[in-house]
Amino acid sequence: MRETNPNSWEARADAHSFYGFTDLPTIADRGATIVTSGHGPYITDVHGRDYLDANSGLWNMVLGFDNKELAEAAKAQYDTLPGYHAFFGRMSDQAVMLSEKLIEVSPFSDGKVFYTNSGSEANDTLVKMLWFLWGAEGQPQRRKIITRKNAYHGVTAVSASMTGKPYNSVFGLPMDGFLHLTCPHYWREGKDGESEAEFTARMGQELEDMIAREGADTIAAFVAEPVMGAGGVIPPSEGYFQTIQPILQKHGIPLISDEVICGFGRTGSDWGCQSYGFMPDAIISSKVLTAGLFPMGAVILGPELSDRLTRASEAIEEFPHGFTASGHPVGCAIALKAIEMVMSDEIKGNIARLIPQFEAGMARLAEKKNIGEWRGRGLMGALEAVQDKATKTPFPGNLSVSERIANACTDQGLICRPLGQSIVLAPPFILTDEQLAEMFDKLEAALDKVF
Ligand code: PLP
């Protein structure tokens, strides 16, 4: 139960901090968790309580909360060139080196990188790039963006319009021209008697129909997360991208992979698109890019889009877009170190070692009577709570059951993310076997308390 002292941290947070993406009944009941420090995969609150963060912060703190190497990279850069932009013919040496590195580790043979401060801004930037590009190439009517229901691409007006969450209607979004296909979640969206292959074919047909209805020459791009993250960790149905990509290619529609969550190892490959065997035209990156130590995003353009955008910019002598902190040298220095670390044999080896244990832990908990399915890929997974396992009937209310599970987890000293009717886990890449076992034991105790 929550602190009643008006001078408590919880009361002070209520007084002057506006809560975003927060279940307000939970706050009223329990107060916010105010975090003061972290060590390894744990955070510590103002009361000295430790929590194992099974969500790596917000999917990003994959190298832990007190990583000395990253902090030293930041400190060294703060001591040398603590800030700068990437415009007017100037940029930091760190930005030059990071762009080289990102193209080197990307699936692309060549390309160029544009920096933002967040994943949302990277998606906004991408859309503006495409609008600019198609306009410059004599097709200014190609402005529509296709995404999927339940997708998450951010919160700015454009990226929220790409996002396929019903809550955006409270803002009067999506804006016109943002189209959403069915979420490719076979377990929930498949029809009675429909095989997974038939479901995937139906998803492809739905895309074909949408393109025919709207007109291929009005569509700027198709943007997808390899595994939907904030939609509740939803891997695509079998063969989804192999079905979608040829349709897009036939109509000259770029395929963009939003890898803000999936990039840099989360799905067990360097990039989510590699886990699912498709080659995008551009990648959206953020989060693990700086292992959570600096707000930064990037649009990584593959060779074709990069050449086309360069030509379009040269034609008007400028690409008129960017943020004050684009290519911030401290962010770039941290990103260079973070990439070196997440792509090291040590971290990749640990991810590969943890994945089978993670899958086994999820499968064990999925046997509980009120868990309808577990799903996931690599080190991201979700347990879907259902009132009735056989009929897949959800619990009444939208957030209540997963909120109750997440709160029970908090009581156990575990941070888990409630998303819709599911509980999501995306642990840090540095977890030990003991910490992984602790995560599942605590989650099991929480589930047993709620069900
Ligand atoms: N794209 C995806 C796939 C995301 O998961 C997120 C954030 O969770 C974003 C974009 C937006 O990133 P940011 O919160 O940094 O704006």
> For a pocket test of ligand 1, which of 225, 261, 288 has the largest count of ligand atoms closer than 8 A to its C-beta?
261
For residue range 16-64, list pLDDT tens digits in order.
Answer: 999 999 999 989 999 999 999 999 999 999 999 999 999 999 999 999 9
In 3-state terms, what secondary structure has residue 157? Answer: helix
Closest residue by Cα to atom 12, ligand 1, is 119
Instruction: Give me the mean pLDDT over the 256-276 stretch.
Output: 98
Count of C-beta atoms within a 10 Å radius of residue 27: 15
* Buried/exposed code over 275-300 (b: 16+ C-beta within 10 A; e: otherwise): bbebebbbbbbbbbbbbbbbbbbbbb
ipTM above 0.90, yes or no: yes
Count of alpha carbons within 13 Å of 221, Cβ hemisphere only? Answer: 24
- Å from CA of 198 to ligand 1 middle: 31
Write a three-state SS string for 297-317: EEEEECHHHHHHHHHHHHHHC
Count of C-beta atoms within a 10 Å radius of residue 320: 9
- Cα–Cα distance between 326 and 84 in angstroms, integer? 8
In 3-state terms, what secondary structure has residue 112? Answer: strand
Helix residue spans in 265-344 (DSSP H): 272-275, 303-316, 329-342
Which CATH superfamily includes the segment(s) 33-66+345-450? Aspartate Aminotransferase, domain 1 (3.90.1150.10)
pLDDT given for residue 396 in this prediction: 85
- Å from CA of 153 to ligand 1 middle: 5
pLDDT at 292 over 90: yes
pLDDT given for residue 398 in this prediction: 62
- Å from CA of 148 to ligand 1 middle: 15
> For a pocket test of ligand 1, which of 260, 284, 290, 377 has the largest count of ligand atoms closer than 8 A to its C-beta?
260
pLDDT given for residue 407 in this prediction: 94
Q: Please give the angle made by the CA atoms of 338, 341 and 344, to the nearest 5 degrees.
A: 145
Lowest-pLDDT range of 196-210, 314-328, 364-378, 397-411: 397-411
Nearest atom of ligand 1 to the alpha carbon of 262: 3
From residue 123, alpha-carbon distances to 91, 104, 127, 224 in Å are 22, 22, 6, 11
> For a pocket test of ligand 1, which of 115, 161, 286 has the largest count of ligand atoms closer than 8 A to its C-beta?
286
Contact status, residue 69 vs residue 339, Cβ threshold 8 Å: no
pLDDT at 330 over 70: yes
In 3-state terms, what secondary structure has residue 11? Answer: helix
Quickly state the pLDDT bin for 4 (edges 50, 70, 90). Answer: confident
CATH number attached to the domain at 71-342: 3.40.640.10
Tokens matching residue 242? 């192999």
- Cα–Cα distance between 340 and 343 in angstroms, integer? 5
Tokens matching residue 320? 């008129």
Contact status, residue 409 vs residue 401, Cβ threshold 8 Å: no
- Å from CA of 297 to ligand 1 middle: 9
* Ligand 1 lining (C-beta closer than 6 Å): 118-120, 123, 152-154, 225, 229-230, 258, 260-261, 286, 297
For residue range 79-135, list pLDDT tens digits in order.
Answer: 999 999 999 999 999 999 999 999 999 999 999 999 999 999 999 999 999 999 999
Q: What is the DSSP string of 26-72?
A: HHHHH-PPPEEEEETTEEEETTS-EEEETTHHHHT-TT-TT-HHHHH
pLDDT given for residue 397 in this prediction: 72
pLDDT at 2 over 90: no
Nearest atom of ligand 1 to the alpha carbon of 151: 3
pLDDT at 451 over 80: yes
Q: Where are the domains of the chain?
A: 33-66+345-450, 71-342
- Å from CA of 227 to ligand 1 middle: 13
Quickly state the pLDDT bin for 1 (edges 50, 70, 90). Answer: low
Please report which helix (H) or strand (E) contains residue 207, including its range.
helix 196-214
For residue range 200-259, list pLDDT tens digits in order.
Answer: 999 999 999 999 999 999 999 999 999 999 999 999 999 999 999 999 999 999 999 999
pLDDT at 3 over 80: no
> Prior bond to 174 cis, omega within 30?
yes
pLDDT given for residue 399 in this prediction: 63
- Cα–Cα distance between 44 and 373 in angstroms, integer? 32
> For a pocket test of ligand 1, which of 120, 223, 299 has the largest count of ligand atoms closer than 8 A to its C-beta?
120
